[in-house]
Amino acid sequence: MPCESCASPSAAIIRPKDRSRLCKGCFISAFEDEVHQTILSTGMLRGVRRLILGVSGGKDSTVLAHVLNILNARHKYGVELCLLCIDEGIAGYRDKSIEVVKRNESDLGIKLTLLSYSELFGHTMDSIVGKTGTKGNCTYCGVFRRSALEEGAGMLQGDMIATGHNADDVAETVVMNYLRGDIARLRRCAMAVSERSESSERITVPRCKPLMYAYEKEIVMYAFYNKLPYFSTECKYSPHAFRGNARTFIKGLEKVDPKIILNLIRGAQALEASGRPDARSPSIRRCLRCGHACSSAQGICKGCTLLEGLPAE
Ligand code: SF4
Ligand code: ZN
Ligand code: ZN
């Protein structure tokens, strides 16, 4: 079967995204060009001098670091890249994936900064689960990771944080927010770039998702064809109960029509674009305890509230 792009006689791949047949070289070029188009069309790197890549050693952030390193050189973005890895303190999981991140650092020649929950919050996820059990552990972990990324990006004087969220992740989040009836989050979750602060005093470092239109299956194929090392074991505390439902639902629909993933993302974006300006985001101020961004009326951020609620030693 010939490649549909270069007419070489041996197409190696049927793209999961649109079922086109491509040879390996054309698939790699198409994947990289599409990420470049996402960056251009959303303006996500406009004005960015130092971009902080949130990396975990998993496939998505490994591909993110690899592709951005290539595109930055190829298209002369002029952005300084930094790797930032957050160590949640989960024995047998994050310690293993950090070994992969260190390999990314030497393979790509991009400096890595490691920050741990224990140095930032005085707790590891292992110790938090020891105190509170496995119910709701991901709430602690998600809130602390957000705060840790923010802290790390501030320390590194980054202008923007890029994360490895892929199209499947975003579509799952859209479905989850629908199912929860959380329309405010539904509006925001498919934005390519979180809102940039208009004021001169920057409270949060904005975030972007350069892989948000890349299908998970294609990220796995891209990593495979480029022989990128990544860590694929799941976290031992992963319940994924609710996200798992959304995931199964979307995987089933993807078999019927792969475009459904992009349709979900575009739908949420259309909702955001059509919303009343005053209905979009809660107002952001500084947390009275830690100084990070906070949207609660009491002035204490979610991270500080969770830390204060942990049982004493
Ligand atoms: Fe943290 Fe939950 Fe993810 Fe494990 S599954 S790393 S506890 S958010
Ligand atoms: Zn080809
Ligand atoms: Zn706080």
pLDDT string in tens for the chain (313-residue length): 899 999 889 888 999 888 899 999 999 999 999 999 999 999 999 999 999 999 999 999 999 999 999 999 999 999 999 999 999 999 999 888 999 999 999 999 999 999 999 999 999 999 999 998 888 888 899 999 999 999 999 999 999 999 999 999 999 999 999 999 998 899 899 999 997 655 545 678 999 999 999 999 999 999 999 999 999 888 888 866 678 889 999 999 999 999 999 999 999 999 888 876 555 556 778 888 888 888 888 889 999 999 988 887 6
Ligand 1, closest atom to CA 238? Answer: 5
Which residue minimizes the CA distance to atom 5 of ligand 1?
A: 238
- Return the best residue to mutate from 61, 235, 236 for the ligand 1 pocket (most ligand atoms within 8 A of CB): 235
Backbone angles phi, psi at 192, to 5 degrees: -70, -30
- Return the best residue to mutate from 98, 138, 140 for the ligand 1 pocket (most ligand atoms within 8 A of CB): 138
DSSP string, 220-245: HHHHHHTT-----PPPTT---HHHHH
Which residue minimizes the CA distance to atom 7 of ligand 1?
A: 138
What pLDDT, on a 0 to 100 scale, did the predictor assign at position 195? 73
What pLDDT, on a 0 to 100 scale, did the predictor assign at position 227? 96
191-226 tens-digit pLDDT:
999 976 555 456 789 999 999 999 999 999 999 999
Are residues 51 and 159 in contact, defined by beta-carbon separation less than 8 angstroms? yes
Binding pocket residue ranges, ligand 1, CB within 6 Å: 88, 125, 137-138, 141-142, 235, 237-238
Ligand 1, closest atom to CA 125? Answer: 7
Which residue minimizes the CA distance to atom 8 of ligand 1?
A: 138
What pLDDT, on a 0 to 100 scale, did the predictor assign at position 22? 95
Ligand 1, closest atom to CA 240? Answer: 5
Tell me how far the alpha carbon of residue 2 lies from the centroid of ligand 2, in angstroms: 8
147-176 tens-digit pLDDT:
999 999 999 999 999 999 999 999 999 999
Residue 3 Cα to chain centre, angstroms:
32
Which ligand has the shortest distance to the CA of 11? 2
- Return the best residue to mutate from 55, 61, 141, 240 for the ligand 1 pocket (most ligand atoms within 8 A of CB): 141
User: What residues contact residue 109 under an 8 Å CB cut-off, 6+ apart?
Assistant: none
Which ligand has the shortest distance to the CA of 299? 3
CA quadruple 184, 189, 190, 194: dihedral, nearest 10: 100
What pLDDT, on a 0 to 100 scale, did the predictor assign at position 212? 98
Are residues 24 and 12 in contact, defined by beta-carbon separation less than 8 angstroms? yes
- Return the best residue to mutate from 98, 125, 134, 231 for the ligand 1 pocket (most ligand atoms within 8 A of CB): 125
Are residues 53 and 69 in contact, defined by beta-carbon separation less than 8 angstroms? no
Structure token digits, residue 63: 């591909």
Tell me how far the alpha carbon of residue 239 lies from the centroid of ligand 1, in angstroms: 8
Q: Which residues fall inside 5 Å of ion ligand 3, going by CB?
A: 287, 289-290, 301, 304
Tell me how far the alpha carbon of residue 286 lies from the centroid of ligand 3, in angstroms: 8
What pLDDT, on a 0 to 100 scale, did the predictor assign at position 276? 61
Which ligand has the shortest distance to the CA of 203? 3
Whether the pTM exceeds 0.95: the reply is no
Residue 226 Cα to chain centre, angstroms:
21
Q: Which amino acid, 280?
A: R
